[in-house]
Structure 1
């Protein structure tokens, strides 16, 4: 009877893990729709191509070497078996299949790379982007992941866990890391042609399909239940089921708080209800709660999400003043608010220290930013990372993909 209960728990937790991983995989569609809605029509196909391509690259690179770097175990040739897990099941230490863990981890890697896509949109060479995706998903991200979620020492100097660092589902490990890589690329890439005037004026470049961007945001909102909920790692006991329910509740209310806060602030600052700020506010609320969705009360989660919604509006405006051109606001949503999320954790989790969170955030940002800057720099010096001014004017779709997303059809009579 006892073995039957253990096996049932194993089956339920494995199934839950896989379903949550599928939710996170669906976030790839959300990023794709959001980004393609916020760029100009002439760059839509390239955005679609980038997102399908980067997801595929992430899956292969994490299989080839990323998982081995992050968790000290190769699987590419040997595969993943249940060796040792049946024994662990009996001891109550393992409640899900190792292949489910790999699947859940690999979709997180793809999420980090998706953040980069939107920030460098409308002027980066497609194949240079793919080359960077190989390095980020295969090496840069897995190494910082080993320091955080696997407890490895940072280049043999210190262990973040011993310093009191915690990041439940990846405000820093996934989101801020993706933003750091994006920031390095944007700095070397430069702004889109016509975005900033000679006298410092900032020119808005509207997206082509705001209904699509809104759909993408709702898809991401939904996928985030898998992102945060799956990070509980179990659901087949009373305690774990309650924890999952709390995480879902707090994730949802934080997004709502972020959306409302950003909407009100945009009305105050710009005199209009800015849809793009509303969308980014919801995403900011989600990023803010990701570092610790299990310990806040629903009220605290709402407040944390609202703080993220307020911060993202100020951050987007500030980066524009610094002439850092991010077409979709990815660096602000995932980077600036990712840091906020890490710093909010000690408020509701007494086992975590502010100093540990700050050191952890610095470790993640410095490593990913510097490593990415080096890789972007090498690409820029060799194959180049930016298309010509002429091709940028014509649009990335024709220049890189040879087709248009919204072709005009002429009637026959």
Structure 2
């Protein structure tokens, strides 16, 4: 008997150590400006739970039952000797630690934007009413010689996956719905933002402390020290480890752009919560399965909350609510037949599901009513300004946090002023650049018009006059030599006029801006074939990226210069132009001919390639030449791009 008492006391101290684990875990996961608030809040929460649960909640949970709904004895811990077992105050001490666990969970989920007083009021109702009444329906027979109606139906919850953790999880869910998300948790496009965490290694320490404390949570729930303690502790450890594996695997499958770091924490704690329901009934392999599946459930539940716009600061709802529910229901699936109480696995699953559903309706329903009432009366949430400052300052006037806030605000103001100046300068530069482009375009048009109207028209008149002189010399003076010289001069004037027209065309290829690059290249190649007689093909193998106008013009010029080089130097009868995407960020332009080809070492400069290389360099691209004498030439031009 004394060994049993000692084991329960030691286990209760393990569970009490959970409070330290919760503080480390929560402090590590929230912003530095709120860590003092959370730490002090956890101490006060345990103080309230100690007084309210021991003097009121314990009686409602374990006193002699009234209509199976609530207990009515042991108020203020009187008459404990009437219990059918001999553990007395030891049992009260043990159960107090369980109540402290349940109440502490709720405040963590709502932290960083919830006022302290409303949370403390919620602690009173949770410790004194919500938690003990559901606990009475499941565990009323643990202390007095009576039945618990939910357990009588066959509902199994060995150490409190539903009684403790689901109750806390569903009340937390109600709380985060009513209080709303933290400021700037989602951006204007609805994408979740990381608000920053104070100390992840501290959260790791908290996770290990909770893991260690869970050995007392589950092991002590046997209420005696016998040969099953080792199995319970092993199952607890196996489930936590498997929970991490399940959470990481699920994260890698369903959340591609997500770090697996959070899966390590949520998986371990989700596995611990889940095995709490059946650590005394399962064997190690079944414990691994429960932990693995529950770890996956916790990750998917976290994703669901994000999709619904619900902000749980420390993941309490997925871990304790969904993790506890998964473990309770999975127990019915994996538990050996000797623990089914004569029920089939199907019936047991239905019973377990009914118990979990009842817990959800009870805890979530009362939680909504509780937090809604608080919100409408004394208020639940801090102001936006107070949330910006942090609850360290607002609730506890921490001078160091105040200095940090002033420093941060000063830097933010400087940054904001600098950003405004940069924005104004950018607008000015954009305006000047636009004016410059418009001015250049105007000058190009004016130059084209002046050349066309002045030089072009004069050359056209000269051509006409020379033609008349050539005809007169040929008919009147019968001087063929002079006539041939005049005709040569006429041909030179004609070529000059064509060159001027080409210059005018190059100044502003209107078709390029109107129809786009691919259509402009297609027209360019058709015109090339028509004017030169060289058979030409255009193969657009993949869609052209949406380059900026400057890049499009440079690419157009590169293809144009390639065709000009072929006409001047290649002596080709066929040209092939191909566009294709090589990689997700690299595009290839290839211009090939069947001309005379060249020595490969002699074509990297000259032959009109300098201009092509300069344009490709501006685009961040590169040129590769494949050629040999008599085998034609291929210009391979690679240009990077961003979608």
CA apart distance, 1:259: 1.2
Q: Secondary structure at the match of 2:227?
A: helix
Matching residue within 29, 51, 58 for 2:49? 58
Range with bigger deviation, 125-134 or 360-369: 360-369
Is 2:251 aligned against 1:266? yes
Q: Partners of 1:405 and 1:304 in 2: how far apart?
A: 45
Matching residue within 178, 183, 186 for 1:188? 178
Q: Secondary structure at the match of 1:12?
A: helix
Matching residue of 1:402: 397
Q: How is 1:181-260 mapped onto 2 (pairs within 5 angstroms)?
A: 181-235=171-225, 241-260=226-245
CA apart distance, 1:217: 0.4
Matching residue of 1:28: 19
- Segments of 5+ residues of structure 2 without an aligned counterpart are 64-71, 143-147, 405-643
Matching residue of 1:5: none
Q: Partners of 2:184 and 2:402 in 1: how far apart?
A: 25
Q: Is the 8 A contact 1:80 1:99 kept in 2?
A: no
Flag the structure with higher strand content.
Answer: 2
TM-score (norm 1): 0.88
Q: How is 1:8-407 mapped onto 2 (pairs within 5 angstroms)?
A: 10-72=1-63, 74-75=73-74, 77=76, 79=78, 83=81, 94=85, 96-150=86-140, 159-235=149-225, 241-268=226-253, 269-270=255-256, 274-347=260-333, 348=335, 349-351=339-341, 353-403=348-398
Q: Partners of 1:98 and 1:184 in 2: how far apart?
A: 35
Q: Is the 8 A contact 1:263 1:273 kept in 2?
A: no
Q: Partners of 1:77 and 1:172 in 2: how far apart?
A: 26
Q: Partners of 1:48 and 1:334 in 2: how far apart?
A: 20
RMSD: 2.0
Q: Partners of 1:20 and 1:246 in 2: how far apart?
A: 15
Q: How many residues align?
A: 381
Range with bigger deviation, 385-394 or 305-314: 305-314
Counterparts in 2 of 1:408 and 1:211: CA distance versus 1, 3 Å: farther
Counterparts in 2 of 1:227 and 1:62: CA distance versus 1, 3 Å: same
Q: Partners of 2:400 and 2:366 in 1: how far apart?
A: 34
Using CA pairs below 8 Å that are at least 6 residues apart, which structure has the higher relative contact order? 1
Q: Partners of 2:96 and 2:368 in 1: how far apart?
A: 23
TM-score (norm 2): 0.57
Q: Partners of 2:223 and 2:56 in 1: how far apart?
A: 23
**Which deviations, in whole Å up to 9, do the C-alpha atoms of 1:9-68 show, x marking residues without a partner?**
x11101100110110010011111100110000000110011111111111001221011
Range with bigger deviation, 399-408 or 288-297: 399-408
CA apart distance, 1:270: 3.6
